Amino acid sequence: MDRKICMITGANSGIGKAAAIQIAQQGYHTILACRNQQKGEAALRDVMEASGSNAVELMLVDMSLQSSIDDLAEAYLAQHDRLDVLIQNAAVFDITQKEPVYTAEGIESVWATNHLGPVLLTERLWGALQASSQARVIAIASKGLVAKPFLKVDLDDPEFRSRPFSVEDAYYQSKLAQIMYTYWLAERGREARITANCIRVPAVRVDIDKYDNLSPLMKKAYALKSRFALTPEEMAVCYTRLATAPELHDVSGVYFNEKMKPVKPPKYAQRAENIDKVMTLTMSYFKTGES
């Protein structure tokens, strides 16, 4: 019997890596989609050792670049004829960033990585998802949105070209857009046997030593916050259940918290007219005629 296939972006560390281990332990062929080859190879070894599975594979992608996503999709489709689970875990949020950074393709990096990248990757792998008997797409948002009930996607300037930049606003805007995308995708996938759900991730422990650019005060603050946060392994249980649990095979269009309880996003994100506007904007970034 063929193993089911799960791709996880940003799987070289943190929740993504922990989820990769757990999903590989469930018998899935698990693909780590990572940006950095050296870190990806180290994660590959760790996941194989921790899971006891040899059905683990590394593929490279920079989720901020459409050309890199196209390359990943092409490489994937050359080796696999279907995809059963796609977990859009990769994201950027550098709290020390003061100015917008634009990619080599000219798009603001947070918007490109956290929202446009996941949408495009799903589009490019849509045929492979359709080839599954029941595919699942999992998007990731943030509990921090609870503190921003009036946030909206700036349809005129999502990339902060003419408004003051805040990395926090850029991050939460991208995560809000991912929730809205989930609802849009759930509707689209209904006839194609593809479910789409989103996970609201709360504070999760991070390795402070990885962040050399943080001030001693910020490192201390993060260390204190981490004492009360979930471990990546604890949070990954939610990813794994949503990806693999048989009883969730037809659950779609749900925003889950870390305890797998449905929660409501900001009202703005629930309105169909707002979702349509955000997705019209989103799709305008991509080349037509490719799917």
Which pLDDT tens digits describe the chain residue by residue (291 residues)?
A: 589 999 999 999 999 999 999 999 999 999 999 999 999 999 999 999 999 999 999 999 999 999 999 999 999 999 999 999 999 999 999 989 999 999 999 999 999 999 999 999 999 999 999 999 999 999 999 999 999 999 999 999 999 999 999 999 999 999 999 999 999 999 999 999 999 999 999 977 665 555 555 566 655 555 555 666 799 999 999 999 999 999 999 999 999 999 999 999 999 999 999 999 999 999 999 975 443
Identify whether 171 is a catalytic site residue: yes
Output the pLDDT for position 291: 38
Report CA torsion sign: 260, 266, 271, 276: negative
pTM of the complete model: 0.93
Output the pLDDT for position 290: 40
Using CA atoms, how far apart are residues 28 and 7, in angstroms rounded to an integer? 10
Using CA atoms, how far apart are residues 85 and 115, in angstroms rounded to an integer? 18
> Which of 28, 76, 102, 171 is flagged as catalytic?
171
Determine the 3-state secondary structure of 258 from DSSP. coil
The 10 Å Cβ neighbour count of residue 133 is 9
End-to-end CA distance of the chain: 29
Angle at 257 between CA 254 and CA 263, to 5 degrees: 55
Domain ranges of the chain: 5-283
DSSP per-residue codes, 163-221? S---HHHHHHHHHHHHHHHHHHHHHHHTTTTEEEEEEEE--B---GGG-TTS-HHHHHH
Arch. (CATH architecture) of 5-283: 3-Layer(aba) Sandwich (3.40)
Cβ-count burial 42-81 (b if 16+ within 10 Å, e if not): bbbebbbebbebeebbbbebbbbbbebbbbbbeebeeebe
